[in-house]
Amino acid sequence: MADNNQTQTIDTNTTTTAQPLSRKAKFLAILGAMGPGILTSFAGNDAGGIATYSTTGASYGYGMLWTIPLMCLLLIVVQETAARMGCATGKGFASLIRERFGVRVSAIAMLSLIVSNFAVSLSEFAGIASGMQLFGVPLQVSVPVTAAACWMLTMGGSYHRIEKILLSISAIFLTYIISAFMAKPDWGAALRATFGPTVSNDLNYVSLFVANIGTTISPYMIFMVSSNVVEKNLDASGIPAQRADNTSGAIAAELVSWFIILTTGTVLYPEGVQVNTAADAAKALVPFAGENASILFAIGLVGASFLAACVLPGITASAVCEAFGWERGPDRTWQEAPAYRGIITAMIILSAVVVLVPDIDLFGIMMVAQVINGVILPILLVCMVIIASSHFIMGKYANGRVWNFLTWFIIILVTVLTAIMFVLQLMGY
């Protein structure tokens, strides 16, 4: 009798579990799984990204707004694939590279990632310094304080706590949307330019187009999305929620990019004002859009740079530790995860120290980072599509034909644009 009763209980529970979730339950499940895609997308709108978008608007007005929908599609494809790999396998991208391609390839990829992310991290601290200088705060104060804040945040507690804090910081990007409305753009012309591409063979135009694509998709994004999915303990059942997360994150982040180009295209382009950095754009807005618009732009620069400065050391440490099978995670102690905490600490301290060095060529460092990113990104994308297409690794969650086509299209596009970038740099553009 006991066995029969037990069987009946199991059957009852199974039947109950099989019942479809209500709309409210589905919504709450999606909401609970969201975070990795949104955070990764916004982290991409860092100091370098804001500078690139500001320069784009100042140089060509609304003429390159059409690139935003294209970049949004590319970002969705890459991030969705990375998240799906994490959910389907329970492993991050670094671990999957090691298992599929061996330790040697994994070591080369990690070395390239460390150098690239360190160079980008320098640009974030430089962005914070230049943004705070607009408020009268010297870099000798802003950089050490920022470094200490980044370190305490990345070391402080569980992944979920850190994610919530960083997602809250992401709200700073609203400043760019407000700035755009304050600039009073021609909305009709902007929408027409967004959905009616205008292509130019001007080399500066081509160079900025390449830069826009490059700042949208970075190597660290692939590692970050898959790693964060694993940190949230999501499995294959979380794939639909991750699609919603990555799609909404990509759309939100690219909307911010659209508004940045819109602002500088509305205010600076008609006046012939050229800018090279996001801080230049913030200062240049004052005579034409008012001090409030400039302040909001500068606040956005500082907030965006701080977000990326917090994210980059953590994802670098996580990827390296994952690749070599070391303990990782913000909830691990120094004794449990010395490499993880050591990499984060070293990266933050070195970034801050280098930025404080007088007359340091930060632009040259950023160029090195761009070159490394340009070389490593197509290789990582090829690794990603091979893994994501494997039914042995991914099971029924492997790429379909359409997704494979889109991924290979991105790889070819990035490779061609990287080659163009090298040629343009040799030509002095």
Domain ranges of the chain: 23-426
What's residue 419's pLDDT? Answer: 83
pLDDT tens by residue, 255-272: 999 999 999 999 999 988
Extract the runs of DSSP E, i.e. beta strands, from 207-363: none
pLDDT tens by residue, 289-314: 678 888 888 888 888 889 889 889 99
**Residue where the block lists tokens 């960083």:** 166
What's residue 211's pLDDT? Answer: 82
Q: Which pTM value belongs to this model?
A: 0.84
pLDDT at 356 over 50: yes
What's residue 428's pLDDT? Answer: 67
pLDDT at 67 over 80: yes
DSSP string, 244-257: HHHHHHHHHHHHHH
- Between 107-111, 350-354, 395-399, the lowest mean confidence (pLDDT) is in 107-111
- Between 7-11, 110-114, 250-254, the lowest mean confidence (pLDDT) is in 7-11
Q: What is the CATH number of domain 23-426?
A: 1.20.1740.10
What's residue 7's pLDDT? Answer: 35
Query: What is the b/e burial string over 366-404, where b = at least 16 CB atoms within 10 angstroms of the residue's CB?
Result: bebbbbbbbebbbbbbebbbbbbbeeebbeebbbeeebe
Query: What is the b/e burial string over 187-226, where b = at least 16 CB atoms within 10 angstroms of the residue's CB?
Result: eeebeebbeeeeeeeeeebbbbbbbbbbbbbbbbbbbbbb
What's residue 36's pLDDT? Answer: 67
pLDDT at 18 over 60: no
pLDDT tens by residue, 312-323: 999 999 999 999
d(Cα 116, Cα 123) in Å, to the nearest integer?
Answer: 11
Looking at per-residue pLDDT, the higher value among 103 and 2 belongs to 103
Helix (H) or strand (E) holding 60: helix 47-60
**Banded pLDDT at 23 (limits 50, 70, 90):** low
**Cβ atoms < 10 Å from Cβ of 4:** 8
**In this structure, are residues 317 and 328 in contact, taking their beta carbons and an 8 Å threshold?**
yes
Mean pLDDT for the chain? 83
